[in-house]
Chain A
Amino acid sequence: MLYHIDRPTSYIVVGNRLKGAKPLEVTFKDVTLSYDGKREILHHLNFTIPEGTLVSILGPSGCGKSTTLMMISGLLAPTSGKIFFGDQDVTKKDALARKVGMVFQNYALYPHLSVLENIEFPLKMAKVPKKDRKKKAIELAKLVHIDDQLDKKPGALSGGQQQRVAIARALAKEPSLLLLDEPLSNLDARLRIEMRQEIRRIQQETGVTTIFVTHDQDEALHISDHIMVLNQGQIQQFSSAETLYDNPSNLFVSQFIGEPVINTLDITDFDRELEGHVDAEILQRAKKVGIRPEALQDHDTGSETLTTIATKVKHSEKYGREKNALLDFHGKPLLTTEMRAEVADEQELPLYLQRHGFYLFDENGVRIFGGDQDA
């Protein structure tokens, strides 16, 4: 809201994107990166981030998320491949020319400047008149709820406060592309949710293309239009949150997305339970089995049920309205969140394996059964 009201006219000149102007689309074409010329950190990345969307890059620590952002911002040149903003090839342009906004993983605030001066810095570099830039900076400080700390130095702020200053600074020059490297990782749970809604709101109001790096799937699922799952320098899947969950393209994605984590078994853990229910040819190729905890029901669901399996209850407990049970299946643990009936420990229990949330993966981890086959 504050982002729009009373925008000083000079400010419009500064922002490289006028309101209503085209937000950026970002494309990677076969981008590879190696820091030392020996070990490849990112392998042949190909993707397009549609203009005006909020995309999360989600992946475990060290998978190359920050490195990807550095290449988008122009701080790091790809070893090979091309980067496009819209249809403009920006591969050879440096950060100064690309004019993106960015929040760094460790905030990177200027220690010698006050909060206000930090937020003003990009405007000062853009030669915005002193009065206008102060007004804009205060507006942004209010937006991120840091306007009571304006005169402090970053060293005197908590991690969460520093993070908010960094967000305000990134927004100051109203970039056409906003890059956020784990911007919420240091906030407490409540503020984190508040800030992520705030970021979403700002993004939707301004239409700025936003790339949001996180290793928190919950954050990614809530904030983004699309999620790119990255692991070991490769894109595992790039789709909507729903598709990621319902149609994981491989074992890694199925295990990475979902709370509680999907049950994973070897195909050899099954006797003949799947025979006749899954194509013999597919069964032949399958190596791993993924079963979402909600795909194990304790009652017959008719056509939704693929087959039944015989298990033994090891332990069951109730969390709020969820009733979990840890089961034993041929010596392997299985978790279900769908218990309806009261069960006793050590009780034999047949479970109805649902079609939805049951997957088979081949030796490369690629999904060959379950979900939509064409998704």
Chain B
Amino acid sequence: MKHILVSFMEGIKNVWATKYLIGIMLIFKLVTSLILGVPLYLMFSTSFAANIKASNFLTGFNPSLVIDFVYYWRRTLSIYVFMFILTSILIIIAYIFLSGGFWGVLRDQAKRRVKDTPTVTSGSGTEGFFAACGKYFGGMFKIGLLMIPLYLFAFLIWLIFIAILGMVVGEGSLWVLTSWRTISKILIALILYFCCNMLGDYLRIFMLEKEDDHIWVVIRKAFRFVWTNLSSTLCLYYLLSIILVGVILFYGGMYKLVSGISPTGIFIFIAFLLQQLFVVFHSFYRLIFYSSQMSLYVRISDRDDHPGEDLDFKMEMRGE
């Protein structure tokens, strides 16, 4: 268990040492959300800024205003939805570009910490970051495409699970959220999603490490790595996920507290700050996901390359 915690702590340290990555992630989210949001802001201010009834929104959701809003803007909204989808695709591509930089910088950081390997990315700071973005874009893009059939395959497994569940215990009500049937469906979906997501992360790590290999070789190596070290990779991933869920729940509670008392100016601002703090946190935390898993990989591969150096660590890893 120790090496998982060590990887996790190292992950945090590595992200902290490269704080500018958080800044880049944050700016990316703010800018893209702003691009998606500006048309909404313009429509909102046209319909609601000088509208007495809009004060209803301060105390809750007013379906009448929203229904009429949608009807009035229906033509604009249909264009907006189209543009929204298009922009979203561009955002995904932009993120694939940036992710090369995130992974590249964090990999160097992890290696430096574990075994003082010279930096792989040329330059330092943002210069090195963007160099890595460009360098790994092709590979990251291929992995992005590869994730589509992977998720489809997971979805298929989920459908088979549901079918078996239906055959064994009969169809239940979809809406009784508390029934064990629904809970097990959601749990299986989450587990499958997490597995795919984790596999994606290790694929990226191996793509960075074995950059001269063919993509299929990378896939094979990544899958083999995850499989042979399944307990470690899964444990680390679930440790990360559980902490994230905890923070989300905490945030939800805090937000409910603030939004409950937010009819005017200053409270709207506080609620907004809280939201943005959460965005900062999940930007930070995503990088921790990346870098913890990177640390785990570097540690395992380093010990595999130099057997006997840290017997305790290795034995524990193999479950002996």
> Do A and B belong to a common assembly?
no
* Contacts from A to B (Cβ < 8 Å): none
